[in-house]
Amino acid sequence: MPTHPSRPTRPTGPHPGAPRDGAPPPADDPALFALDLDGLAERWAAAMDRAPMSAEEMTGADRKAQALGVPGIRLMEHAGTAVAAAARALAAATGRWGLGPILVLCGPGNNGGDGLVAARHLARHGAAVVVVLVAGESRPATPDAARNWDRLASTPAVERIHAAVARDVAVVGQGVEKAALIVDALLGTGVRGALREPVRSAVELAVRARGAGVPVLAVDTPTACDLTSGELSDPAVRADVTVTFHRPKLGLRTRRGAAVAGRVLVAPIGIPAGADRA
């Protein structure tokens, strides 16, 4: 098993991740990729200290933000940048940065889109990245995610793979223990009942990789942990670090949710305060 990064403590003096309040959203923050996990936690302390919310409340805040003029593609850019910064910090903390490719497992929705943005930024910061679209269709299902999938076609150091069935995932999984890191961007909310293929095989791949010592970072929530209830489907990803967005999530604070989420970071993604109002 990989070494788990220590839980954050609040520093009593100046910290490289400062300021606590008013940190710019990730895509507008040039200091982000110089920070370790503790630095990111301090940088995003204002978001991490907010009251927790449910998955439904987060969906509502996202929609209201767009109604207030914040484009969805911009929210995705902030989220994916935050994931990339945390992935780099986790790989460095576990001594694996640069030792192998970063494997980004993406579902067909906007959670996968966050992973696609993260892949682009990781490549720009020197990582070799393998992106796997785990879905029946050959392109993501949402417009913003599809746009970011297309952008990767011209991004150096990124290999795109489409895994439409379980057999494709098995091929991807050969030699997975050589990966530097797994990014779980498969599903951003809980699922009811058993996972369907090829997502089930992708989750099993992430579980096997972590058992071989590869650290795992989850996007918004580990697949398949419900962001509201913390209930788990079987199988479920167990992450070393989870990056969730805007506010903490209720499900990640339950006993079961906390057990699979690892260290939780809460990144601001530019949702205005007015989008939180009922």
Provide the 10 A C-beta neighbour count for residue 153.
8
Residues found in the chain = 278
Name the amino acid, one letter, at 198: P
Closest CA to 52 of 243, 247, 229: 247
Structural domain spans, the chain: 35-272
Cα–Cα separations (whole angstroms), residue 48 to 51, 52, 275: 8, 9, 17
Cα–Cα separations (whole angstroms), residue 249 to 11, 160, 190, 230, 255: 24, 31, 12, 9, 13
Q: CB under 8 Å to 204, separation ≥6 — which residues?
A: 235
pLDDT single digits (tens) 44-61 = 999 999 999 999 999 999
pLDDT of 234:
86
Quick check: helix, strand or coil at residue 129? strand
pLDDT of 190:
61
Quick check: helix, strand or coil at residue 265? strand
CATH number of this structure's domain 35-272, picked from the four choices 3.40.50.720, 3.40.50.10260, 3.40.630.10, 3.30.70.270: 3.40.50.10260
Q: Could you list the mean pLDDT of each consecutive 10-residue stretch along the chain, which spans 278 residues?
A: 39 42 88 97 96 95 96 98 98 96 97 98 97 97 98 95 98 96 90 86 97 98 95 94 97 97 98 83
pLDDT single digits (tens) 117-149 = 999 999 999 999 999 999 999 999 999 999 999
pTM: 0.91
